[in-house]
Chain A
Amino acid sequence: MKLTDLTRRTLMASTAALALSLGAVPATAQTPEDVLIVGQIAEPKALDPAAVTAVNDFRILMNVFDGLVRYKDGTLEVEPALATDWTINEEGTVYTFNLREGVTFHDGSPFNAEAVVFNFERMLNEDHPYHDTGPFPLAFFFSAVESVEALDDTTVEFTLNAPYAPFLSNLAYPTGLLVSPTSVETHGADVGRNPAGTGPFKFVEWRSNEAVVVEANPDHWEGAPGLEAVVFRPITDANTRTAEMLAGGIDLMVEVPPVALSEFQGDGFTVHEQAGPHVWFLILNAKEGPFADVRVRQAANYAVNKEAIVNDVLEGTAEVAAGPTPPAFAWAYNDELEPYPYDPDRARELLAEAGAEGAELTFYVTEGGSGMLDPVAMGTAIQADLEAVGFDVTIETYEWNTFLGEVNPGLEGKADMAEMAWMTNDPDTLPFLALRTEAWPDQGGFNSGYYSNPEVDELLEAARVETDQAERARLYREMQTIVQEDAPWVFVANWKQNAVTNDRVDGFSLQPSFFLLLDDVTKD
């Protein structure tokens, strides 16, 4: 009996200890007023806009820094920010910006033309004393820039080596955000942990793997933001992020997994959705094998049930894509394009015409990756659709970085089709890098399916140097019609980014740019 006594006593003692630890701690404290807690998907890499590439980091940066220009609220059109206005010479090679006066960086140093020059020289000029604070992976956004000069304190002039129409929207991208030169001089390579910009929020602290805290900048040129502070918490696991949102530990959650959306349908939460400049497609190998025949490529477009993929696999978090350009680029999008309808009979006819019934296909699928949504489930659904019309599809699955290493050098000799997704900031980027003849992999581009149409090449070259936006838009619309007909890809989906806020948050909306702008948000 002594033994049972003892165990019972031990048991009681340990239970008591546990109860004590439960009772002693108020478990989940209510988050404070006017402080927004944001559930991010990962720890930021750095808070240096020139050095980072991930949307996750951009979400913080856009609130701490300003650029010369920015996207107008709710659009992907460029409007003034730290530049009040600008002129472009007739050839489209010289951009002259007038800068906003009386703006200071968070560290107290003045914002002026010299600061702008410093930022671009740092990124582009290998001899600049602070070029070693890089690397700057997206510096090639500005590779057309030949020189940046301060004409006077409030005027800065960019000279390009050739006309380059996407220049302004590249300036609106986070890579174009302006960092205080003093902060770079003071912190060197550690500036990414000690950021100073001119934005609506000032950096306060970065607790590694816990939180990045920013507070309101009362002196912002647009007036103080509605919140006192914002805390960005990295929560990598989507289920944990959902649980934190349900428990009230965070006020705003980005990238809600489709299956968790139903958790937030009731009162107390608002689900936000916004289509962005994203397109999810299948690269088809147009150089060899069955897809060398345009009829077989079209057949694949007819065979895939896109509606079922966006509604059932993605639970309505995406829309069916019609062509290579996402509708979010409203000004350059061709409204007249209709997606390929789901028509298995038409697909079978085309296959019969081309004599490609029973064609064997190797299909590269990735396990996950930036913008890839739910690639395994989507790949499996596509495989089933293609087999239903008479293809014989074998899937090969790769981890994301391995996948890129297989796909980017081109599909020749390896595969007939591969999944891919892009998010860009200008309608030029994706087709220019992935559909031109000169963008074949052996020439350093991403045209991994070897599509080639001289007409498309010409349109894209012309649109890139056209500074008149209406004319540029016309060229892109024409390009979309041709590309849709040629079907170098199977156009599948445009992702709608989503976020959830709780009922204490007001004034929040998602942007088509996928950036997170918090200056108009309030919380009670």
Chain B
Amino acid sequence: MAGYILKRLVSAIPVLLGISIIVFLIMAMIPGDPATAILGSYATPENVEKLNRDLGLDKPLVQRYFIWLGNMLQGDFGRSFSLNRPVIDEVLERFNGTLILAGTSFVICSLLGVAAGVVSAARQYGLADKLITFVVLLGISIPSFFLGMMMILIFAVNLKWFPVSGMWPIYGARDFAALVSHLTLPALALATVATGVIARLSRSAMLEVLRQDFIRTARAKGVRERGVIWRHALRAAMVSIIPVLGIQAGFVLSGAVYIEIVFQWPGVGRMLVDAILTRDILLVQGGVVFVAACYVMFNIAVDVAQSLLDPRIKT
């Protein structure tokens, strides 16, 4: 197992290098430079040139890439010029916000999605299945940012059950209860689509398994239906559900961008959007590489979990 993990880790290196090159090139090639973005109306060629020099952007492309890569390997992600603070401080702080939001959403959509899928499969074509299918399709069809806005309008503006936006109250204790009240709406809005997808795929994975011989055997030897479904069938179905969860984790992470904007959540997605608009090159590059690294690590973890469940996968 240790060898397998090591092998996967080593294979992640070229992936991350490739990502660093791609994001660097994209930032270098998109029209508009940071100086123009900062100066706005006042971006005369003269002012732009001077500011780019001050920002260290007048060096050749290749040289700039290797300076950036070299610094990053030593843990120095550079300084965000638009926020005037170290990139890594901002990214870590924001990633913490995203992790809380996306993590909660991921837990919600995994539990609800798998549970709904299992119930659907167990009662195929029954009332529960039809009801769940209906709700799930509705959930998949609603864009999350629209759902988020509607939730704000209903539960925050009209009913005043939850705050509209932010992660912490401006005044008052910054305790767990405050976090939960701020987290509930965005986490649910973000979880909706992924819940639907996971429910659909769990349902078909379960149906597949329920048709197999060992289930019939289990039933024949008198295992109770509850045990058949949750212990025998689900465990076998998990092998195909887990990769789906891994992919959905990526969707939740990227879907967080919209939700963070709608709910003014201090996360890394909103940070990246702002950074792209202001052409904050180092912040975009550092943020993307960091998020990509986390995503790669998460996928390795998923693969490891899958191989633990199904020893045949270990190669």
State the CA gap A47–B44 with chains docked (Å).
24
From A4, A210, A408, A441, contact of B167 by CB (8 A): A210
* A243 close to chain B: CB less than 8 A: yes
* B100 close to chain A: CB less than 8 A: no
Residue of A nearest to B80 (CB): A45
Instruction: Decide: A237 and B43 in contact? CB cutoff 8 A.
Output: no
**Given A7-B119, A37-B170, A243-B157 contact (CB < 8 Å):** yes
Chain A residues lying within 8 Å of B172, measured Cβ to Cβ, are 29
State the CA gap A400–B262 with chains docked (Å).
22
Instruction: Decide: B164 and A247 in contact? CB cutoff 8 A.
Output: yes
Q: Which of A2, A46, A236 has the most CB of B within 10 A?
A: A236
Residue of A nearest to B82 (CB): A45
Chain B residues lying within 8 Å of A422, measured Cβ to Cβ, are 41
* A3 close to chain B: CB less than 8 A: yes
Chain A residues lying within 8 Å of B274, measured Cβ to Cβ, are 42-43, 236
Q: Which of B81, B94, B171, B271 has the most CB of A within 10 A?
A: B171
Which of A20-28, A254-262, A300-308, A480-488 participates in binding chain B?
A: A20-28
Which of A66-74, A134-142, A466-474 participates in binding chain B?
A: A134-142
Instruction: Decide: B85 and A138 in contact? CB cutoff 8 A.
Output: no
Instruction: Decide: A31 and B42 in contact? CB cutoff 8 A.
Output: no
Chain B residues lying within 8 Å of A444, measured Cβ to Cβ, are 44-46
* A75 close to chain B: CB less than 8 A: no
Instruction: Decide: A53 and B39 in contact? CB cutoff 8 A.
Output: yes
One digit per residue, 1 when the CB lies within 8 angstroms of any chain B CB and 0 when it does not, for chain A 60-90 equals 0000000000000000000000000000000
**Given A231-B170, A402-B32, A370-B41 contact (CB < 8 Å):** yes
Instruction: Decide: A137 and B32 in contact? CB cutoff 8 A.
Output: no
From A4, A53, A234, A249, contact of B164 by CB (8 A): A249
* B219 close to chain A: CB less than 8 A: no
How many residues of chain A are within 8 Å of chain B by beta carbon? Answer: 71
The bracket for how many chain B residues form the interface is: 35 or more
Which of B173-181, B200-208, B210-218 participates in binding chain A?
A: B173-181
- Distance in Å: Cβ of B61 to nearest Cβ of chain A: 17
- Distance in Å: Cβ of A36 to nearest Cβ of chain B: 11
Instruction: Decide: A7 and B115 in contact? CB cutoff 8 A.
Output: yes
One digit per residue, 1 when the CB lies within 8 angstroms of any chain A CB and 0 when it does not, for chain B 260-274 equals 011110100011001
Chain A residues lying within 8 Å of B153, measured Cβ to Cβ, are 243
Interface residues of B in 123-171 (CB under 8 A from A): 123, 128, 149, 152-153, 156-157, 160-171
State the CA gap A400–B261 with chains docked (Å).
19
* B40 close to chain A: CB less than 8 A: yes
Chain A residues lying within 8 Å of B90, measured Cβ to Cβ, are 208
- Distance in Å: Cβ of B38 to nearest Cβ of chain A: 5
* A381 close to chain B: CB less than 8 A: no
State the CA gap A246–B152 with chains docked (Å).
11
Chain B residues lying within 8 Å of A424, measured Cβ to Cβ, are 41
State the CA gap A325–B108 with chains docked (Å).
57
State the CA gap A175–B69 with chains docked (Å).
35
State the CA gap A372–B40 with chains docked (Å).
12
Instruction: Decide: B178 and A193 in contact? CB cutoff 8 A.
Output: no
Instruction: Decide: B152 and A243 in contact? CB cutoff 8 A.
Output: yes
* A516 close to chain B: CB less than 8 A: no
State the CA gap A234–B31 with chains docked (Å).
27
* A459 close to chain B: CB less than 8 A: no
Chain A residues lying within 8 Å of B119, measured Cβ to Cβ, are 3, 7
Interface residues of B in 37-82 (CB under 8 A from A): 37-47, 51, 54-55, 81-82
Which of B224-232, B240-248, B294-302 participates in binding chain A?
A: B224-232
Interface residues of A in 376-407 (CB under 8 A from B): 399-402, 404-406
Instruction: Decide: A240 and B226 in contact? CB cutoff 8 A.
Output: no
* A92 close to chain B: CB less than 8 A: no
* A189 close to chain B: CB less than 8 A: yes
From B40, B54, B97, B271, contact of A53 by CB (8 A): B40
* A171 close to chain B: CB less than 8 A: no
Instruction: Decide: A138 and B83 in contact? CB cutoff 8 A.
Output: no
Chain A residues lying within 8 Å of B38, measured Cβ to Cβ, are 53, 137
* B36 close to chain A: CB less than 8 A: yes
One digit per residue, 1 when the CB lies within 8 angstroms of any chain B CB and 0 when it does not, for chain A 225-249 equals 0000001011111011001101101
Residue of B nearest to A234 (CB): B264
State the CA gap A190–B80 with chains docked (Å).
12
Chain B residues lying within 8 Å of A246, measured Cβ to Cβ, are 157
Instruction: Decide: B46 and A408 in contact? CB cutoff 8 A.
Output: no
Instruction: Decide: A405 and B156 in contact? CB cutoff 8 A.
Output: no
Instruction: Decide: A405 and B128 in contact? CB cutoff 8 A.
Output: no
* B101 close to chain A: CB less than 8 A: no
Chain B residues lying within 8 Å of A2, measured Cβ to Cβ, are 224-226
Chain A residues lying within 8 Å of B37, measured Cβ to Cβ, are 401
* B1 close to chain A: CB less than 8 A: no
Q: Which of A6, A22, A25, A424 has the most CB of B within 10 A?
A: A25
State the CA gap A240–B150 with chains docked (Å).
11
Instruction: Decide: B261 and A43 in contact? CB cutoff 8 A.
Output: no
Residue of A nearest to B171 (CB): A32
Instruction: Decide: A370 and B40 in contact? CB cutoff 8 A.
Output: yes
Instruction: Decide: A46 and B84 in contact? CB cutoff 8 A.
Output: yes
**Given A27-B162, A236-B264, A3-B82 contact (CB < 8 Å):** no
* B6 close to chain A: CB less than 8 A: no
In order of increasing CB-CB distance, the 10 nearest A-B pairs are A401-B32, A209-B266, A25-B181, A135-B54, A402-B31, A46-B84, A2-B226, A244-B164, A405-B31, A243-B164
B residues near A (Cβ < 8 Å) are 30-33, 35-47, 51, 54-55, 81-85, 90, 93-94, 97, 115, 119, 122-123, 128, 149, 152-153, 156-157, 160-172, 177-178, 180-181, 184, 224-226, 229, 261-264, 266, 270-271, 274, 277, 279
Identify 19 new A-B residue pairs, CB closer than 8 A, beyond the known A7-B128, A29-B172: A10-B115, A27-B162, A43-B274, A45-B82, A51-B84, A134-B54, A135-B81, A209-B97, A239-B149, A247-B157, A369-B40, A401-B277, A401-B279, A402-B32, A404-B43, A405-B33, A408-B36, A408-B43, A444-B44
Interchain Cβ contacts under 8 Å between A and B, 24 examples: A2-B225, A21-B181, A21-B184, A27-B156, A27-B161, A27-B181, A28-B163, A43-B274, A140-B42, A190-B85, A192-B84, A209-B266, A210-B166, A210-B167, A211-B170, A235-B165, A236-B270, A240-B262, A243-B152, A247-B156, A249-B163, A400-B32, A401-B33, A409-B45
A residues near B (Cβ < 8 Å) are 2-4, 6-7, 10, 18, 21-22, 24-25, 27-29, 31-32, 35, 37, 42-43, 45-46, 48, 51, 53, 134-135, 137-138, 140, 189-190, 192-193, 208-211, 231, 233-237, 239-240, 243-244, 246-247, 249, 369-371, 399-402, 404-406, 408-409, 422-424, 433, 441, 444-446
